[in-house]
Amino acid sequence: MNISKPQPLDHWLHAPALDGMVSELRRLQSLTQQLRCILDARYAAQVEVTSFQQGTLFLLCENSTIISQLRYLARSYQEKLRRLPDFANLQQWKTAVRHQHKTGLQRHLPKPRILSPASKTLLLEAAECIDDPEISLILRKMASRVPTTPVLATRSQRA
């Protein structure tokens, strides 16, 4: 078994690949700061540059309201940005919403309608009694599409 000696942390902190990532991160932070100086103060802190390649600036926003404002004022903001050397070749920007995971909150979906077996039986019996074929068909579809569950005992029946 060949066990190599672990490299010191300093070795990894100055690895060429990591140096490239750190310099790109610094560039994006600089672009973000320049952008924030131009944007409206109400939402400047909620916008971040994630990439700037081939004339396309990619922005990450906290919510869709900010994206709407940026779309509305895009021409004005882009003209101001093009005056800065780092944004001279800016052609367009693309926006996305940052997905935040909210703890403790759940999406409230509507509960599916559930028919008791008695309700399903009544719908089917009514369908047989109706002379109008369209209404009869609708009643049969209602009875067949909605899932059924057994009727639960009430508290008084459980006691």
Instruction: Quote the domain boundaries for residue 138.
Output: 117-152
> Using CA of residue 16, residue 18, residue 21, residue 26, what is the dihedral sign?
negative
Handedness of CA 133, 139, 145, 147 (dihedral sign): negative
Same domain, 121 and 92: no
Verify that 22 and 74 share a domain, yes or no.
yes
Give me the amino acid identity at 7.
Q
Same domain for 144 and 77: no
Q: How many CA atoms lie within 13 A of 118 on its CB side?
A: 2
Are 137 and 92 in a shared domain? no
User: 2 by DSSP, 3-state: which?
Assistant: coil
The CATH number for 73's domain is 3.30.300
Mean pLDDT of the chain: 80
Structural domain includes residue 27: yes
Handedness of CA 28, 32, 35, 37 (dihedral sign): negative
Q: Is 93 found in the same domain as 24?
A: yes
pTM value? 0.55
pLDDT tens for residues 119-130? Answer: 888 888 888 888
**Tokens read off for 61:** 């926003």
Tell me: do 29 and 91 sit in the same domain.
yes
Query: Is residue 128 located within the same domain as residue 64?
Result: no
Do 75 and 135 have their domain in common? Answer: no
User: Count of residues for the chain?
Assistant: 159
Domain shared by 34 and 83, yes or no: yes
Q: Show contacts of 120-126: CB within 8 Å, 24+ apart.
A: 120/146, 120/148
**Domain count within the chain:** 2
> In the prediction, which pLDDT does 90 show?
94
Q: Which of 11-20, 74-83, 114-123, 129-138 has the least mean pLDDT? A: 11-20
Kindly state whether residues 26 and 65 are assigned to the same domain.
yes
Task: Look at residue 73 in the predicted model and tell me its pLDDT.
Answer: 92
Tokens of 35: 């952008």
Residues 26 and 60 occupy one common structural domain: yes
| C-alpha dist (Å) from residue 87 to 54, 65, 78, 122, 155 | 11, 24, 9, 70, 70
Say how far residue 64 (Cα) sits from the centre of its chain.
10
Return the structure tokens found at 22: 């750190």
